[in-house]
Chain A
């Protein structure tokens, strides 16, 4: 037995992709793509090496943040970002609940389902910055355009996930409520709402978190918030102010994430 084993070929791990042809074709294709893609980078290496000195200055600014010089701008940007986050999450949730009810196949008739799914698809297709560009063009600069953008983006996110949750509920409970002679509204209120409520609260808190992060970005295209302050600080080469803004954003995101995960555990 042992001699037979000694002469046989040693064990090897089976490869990740079984067919050798597919494996080699993928490897060659990936290599060819990589060469083509890398050759398309027209980096100006002189500029990069000059920039690294500037990068060092930025890193210094980040470690010695200056909260004071532009404290009024930072404060106003943060105020806009935070208020935008709260209002847009509330409005987005209010709008997305009826849309989610319409987009759940088990409670909505087909025409309503199609319309609501279309709304969700449109809202999810474009990302926040592109929507913000359009809303800024229509409603003017400032946090109102940002509020509309984030509300619109919230609908696609929340309505989709909530609709999927409604589709996954235990149908027996809704059936039991219906068997008592309850109206459609009562079925929703007593058969479905208690089942999805913890998830709805969890998703809203999660979206609050996302909306704050996004509110720090859409300011770059003029939709208010701390992104605008950051953009101006970078254009003025005030790296310590930019560092201060970034640190503030990171800290708030951390607090929001920690608080929302705690709240979600408490709710569920």
Chain B
């Protein structure tokens, strides 16, 4: 136990003197890194604009503030599109992610040397690219519209669903698998009677959770042309019609809150 003696009295310390120096050095290094990053980041920042921000904010607020509620009528169609992008994208993600998850799980993969790393690579690539970037790529490839948004959401969902699902598969009770295979069941039968029933609740929970996230993400996909309410947001922003932007923000907020509520209810019912 590190103890220092100050004036003949032993005082307890949490760390030895050397360890304490190490901790201070670590904080100093972090501080230095922060200052360096701050300098590099702001070498092109025009501070005049930053100082001007409160006035800009007040100006923005004054233009945004009576929201143009009549614009709401034009939003129902895009909102329906947004929900469709999220739902169909989640379905696509599920369809694509399920085989990937089975390939990636250590106990169900047919080949741990070749297919498992490949499946893990798919999961990582899908997870590290945001759905907005997927949409940006897909709009360039298959043209603007709902389809690009659906595929973007689907591709982004593969990583999320695949990762959580393969972790759920790896955590199953092997005893049940052994019991079913002891009856002489084939590989497919072991799958349907021993593995699938164990992961079904987790699977449903993951799917609903992802759907909730997808509703949130699909609201902005339109910014790059992939359909939904984001298209309306983009055109209002381009026209600097901030009173319409306010209405869109409120609609998005309400949709996101509603989908979060639905997903929480459904997950509570499943688990």
By a beta-carbon cutoff of 8 Å, the part of chain A in contact with chain B is 13, 16, 33, 37-38, 40-44, 47-48, 51-52, 54-55, 58, 79-80, 82-84, 86-87, 90, 125-127, 129-130, 133-134, 137-140, 142-144, 147, 213-214, 216-217, 220-221, 227, 230-231, 234, 237, 242, 246, 249-250, 253-254, 257
Q: With A82-B37, A87-B34 in contact, do A138 and B57 touch (Cβ < 8 Å)?
A: yes
The verdict on B179 contacting chain A, using a C-beta distance below 8 Å, is no
Q: Which residue of B lies closest to A225 (CB)?
A: B41
Query: Which of chain B's residues have a CB closer than 8 A to the CB of A55?
Result: 141-142
Bin chain B's interface residue count.
35 or more
Interchain residue pairs with CB less than 8 A apart (25): A13-B197, A37-B88, A40-B80, A40-B84, A43-B146, A44-B145, A48-B143, A51-B143, A52-B141, A54-B140, A82-B37, A83-B40, A127-B219, A130-B252, A138-B57, A139-B50, A140-B49, A140-B50, A142-B46, A213-B128, A213-B130, A217-B130, A220-B133, A242-B137, A253-B124
For B30, list chain A residues within 8 Å (CB): 90
CA distance A44 to B257 in the complex (A): 33
- The residues of B that contact A47 with a CB separation of less than 8 Å are 142-143
Say yes or no for B193: interface residue by CB 8 A criterion: yes
A217 to B130: give the CA distance in the assembly, Å. Answer: 7
Chain A residues with Cβ below 8 Å from B97 are: none
When distances are taken between beta carbons in the complex, the residues of chain A under 8 Å from B219 are 127
Main secondary structure of the interface of B (DSSP, over half): helix
Q: Please name the residue on chain B nearest to A79 by beta carbon.
A: B40
Given contacts A44-B145, A82-B37, are A217 and B140 in contact (CB under 8 A)? no
Contact B56 A137 (CB under 8 A): yes
A242 contact set on B, CB distance < 8 A? 137
With contacts A54-B140, A80-B41 taken as known, whether A43 is within 8 angstroms of B132 at the C-beta atoms is: no
**In the assembled complex, how far is the CB of residue A95 from the closest CB belonging to chain B, in whole angstroms?**
14
